[in-house]
């Protein structure tokens, strides 16, 4: 778990859209992989003014503090939150709340207590996803937001799950959350330092790559959703792909053809008195009755096939950049 520069830029962009305030709950203590100067530069890029009312603390891990990397508490308080808290399964990293997201008996002190919940790589480690989603719903205040930064592809054995984007979309849509931002992110193995490429997501936009269409990049999901007064946390979603197939499509009557098209059809229908397969076979059988003519007509076909095969053998393979596979979606953001 951790907050890379790409994740920080995502949250700064969201802060520009709707400034942060109130109480933030972080699911799992997070390592931060940048210093305060880097955060200041990123905030300037998005026109966000950082909150500097509290002193900046360094990471509790000596190896990160040696690089002047800040703590997750300082990061979130700098974004404008008035109170920071972390929730974890155990207290080995001094979490403020110890609670197992697999459970359904959420303590009352956590119910509707937070304005923002940050899942920066935690939910994939929780086995009981329905309870995890339900707990997030119950802990959020009305109008509170949740951000998920979750793995989607090429994270084998990182956690219990690598998610399809449709899981988050379908859950929050079924439970009447407002979906504020949804992107699929591609990054390298150096996710803490290299830029992230992001493409906007809508259900169905990945059908062209859903079976073996990706490259060797690592892919993640960004989902930001807001709880409304009508939101729930226990509605079971159906996958959008199948809902679309189940829903009857409106029948559209095609427009009447133009006069020219009608004329062409009438002219073509003259040949319908003799089925095409019939007169083609009759001609072919007739040619076969004249062996010399049949052999002569086959020469150009054989020669053409030879030239085609020879040309294909001589062509070099396409360069790697031409066969590189990926999302095949427009890159709209680089974080």
pLDDT in tens, 99-158: 999 999 999 999 999 999 999 999 999 999 999 999 999 999 999 999 999 999 999 999
196 contact partners, CB below 8 Å, separation of at least 6:
4, 6, 9, 185, 186, 187, 220, 334, 335
- Dihedral sign from CA coordinates of 176, 121, 6, 50: positive
Distance, in Å, from the CA atom of 335 to the CA atom of 188, rounded to the nearest integer, reads: 13
Q: Within its chain, how far is the Cα of 92 from the centroid?
A: 32
**Alpha helices (H) in 212-290, listed in sequence order:** 240-246, 259-268, 276-288
Do 126 and 151 contact (CB within 8 A), yes or no? Answer: no
pTM comes to 0.78
Q: Structure tokens of 276?
A: 């095409």
Give pLDDT, residue 326. Answer: 83
3-class secondary structure per residue, 263-277: HHHHHHHHHHHCCHH
In this structure, is the dihedral angle defined by the CA atoms of residues 67, 70, 72 and 75, taken in order, positive or negative? Answer: negative
51 vs 20: CA distance, rounded Å: 10
Please tell me the distance from the alpha carbon of residue 146 to that of residue 124, in angstroms, as a whole number.
15
d(CA 201, CA 203): 7
pLDDT at 121: 96
- SS3 for 93? coil
Strand partners, 333: 198
Inter-residue contact 138 to 103 (CB < 8 Å) = no
Residue 70's SS3 state is: strand
Give yes or no for a contact between 79 and 7, defined as CB atoms under 8 angstroms apart. Answer: no
Closest CA to 96 of 29, 30, 148: 29
CATH level 2 (architecture), domain 2-246+329-334: 3-Layer(aba) Sandwich (3.40)
Spans of all domains in the chain: 2-246+329-334, 260-314
* Predicted pLDDT of residue 314: 56
pLDDT in tens, the chain (335 residues): 699 999 999 999 999 999 999 999 999 999 999 999 999 999 999 999 999 999 999 999 999 999 999 999 999 999 999 999 999 999 999 999 999 999 999 999 999 999 999 999 999 999 999 999 999 999 999 999 999 999 999 999 999 999 999 999 999 999 999 999 999 999 999 999 999 999 999 999 999 999 999 999 999 999 999 999 999 999 999 999 999 888 877 655 555 555 444 444 444 443 444 444 455 566 667 777 777 776 776 676 666 666 665 655 555 554 544 444 689 999 999 99
Residue 218 is inside which H or E element, if any?
strand 218-226
* N residues, the chain: 335
Read off the pLDDT of residues 298-311 as tens digits, 9 standing for 90 and up. Answer: 676 666 666 665 65
What's the rounded Cα separation, in Å, for the pair 43 and 121? 22
DSSP label at 22? S
Q: What is the pLDDT of residue 273?
A: 42
């Amino acid at each position: 778990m951790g907050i890379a520069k790409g994740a920080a830029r995502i949250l700064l962009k969201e802060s520009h859209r709707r400034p942060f305030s109130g109480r933030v709950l972080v699911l799992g203590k997070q390592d931060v992989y940048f210093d305060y100067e880097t955060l200041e530069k990123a905030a300037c890029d998005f026109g966000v003014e950082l909150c500097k009312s509290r002193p900046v603390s360094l990471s509790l891990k000596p190896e990160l503090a040696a690089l002047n990397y800040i703590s997750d508490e300082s990061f979130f308080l700098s974004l404008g939150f008035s109170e920071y808290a972390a929730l974890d399964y155990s207290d080995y990293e001094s979490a403020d709340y110890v609670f197992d997201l697999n459970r359904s008996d959420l303590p009352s002190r956590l119910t509707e207590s937070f304005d923002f919940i940050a899942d920066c790589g935690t939910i994939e480690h929780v086995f009981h996803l329905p309870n995890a989603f339900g707990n997030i719903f119950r802990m959020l205040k009305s109008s509170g937001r949740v951000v998920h930064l979750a793995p989607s592809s090429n994270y084998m054995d990182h956690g219990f799950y690598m998610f399809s984007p449709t899981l988050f979309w379908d859950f929050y849509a079924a439970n009447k959350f407002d979906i504020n931002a949804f992107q699929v992110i591609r990054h390298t193995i150096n996710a803490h330092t290299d830029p992230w490429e992001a493409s906007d997501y809508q259900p169905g936009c990945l059908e062209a790559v859903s079976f073996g269409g990706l490259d060797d990049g690592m892919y993640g999901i960004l989902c930001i959703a807001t709880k409304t007064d009508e939101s729930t946390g226990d509605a079971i979603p159906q996958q959008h792909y199948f809902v679309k197939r189940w829903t009857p499509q409106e029948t559209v009557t095609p427009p009447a053809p133009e006069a020219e098209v009608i004329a062409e059809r009438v002219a073509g229908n003259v040949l319908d008195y003799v089925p095409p397969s019939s007169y083609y076979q009759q001609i072919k059988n007739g040619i076969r009755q004249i062996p010399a003519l049949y052999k002569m007509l086959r020469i150009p076909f054989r020669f053409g096939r030879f030239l085609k095969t020879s040309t294909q053998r001589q062509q070099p393979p396409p360069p790697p950049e031409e066969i590189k596979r990926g999302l095949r979606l427009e890159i709209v953001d680089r974080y």
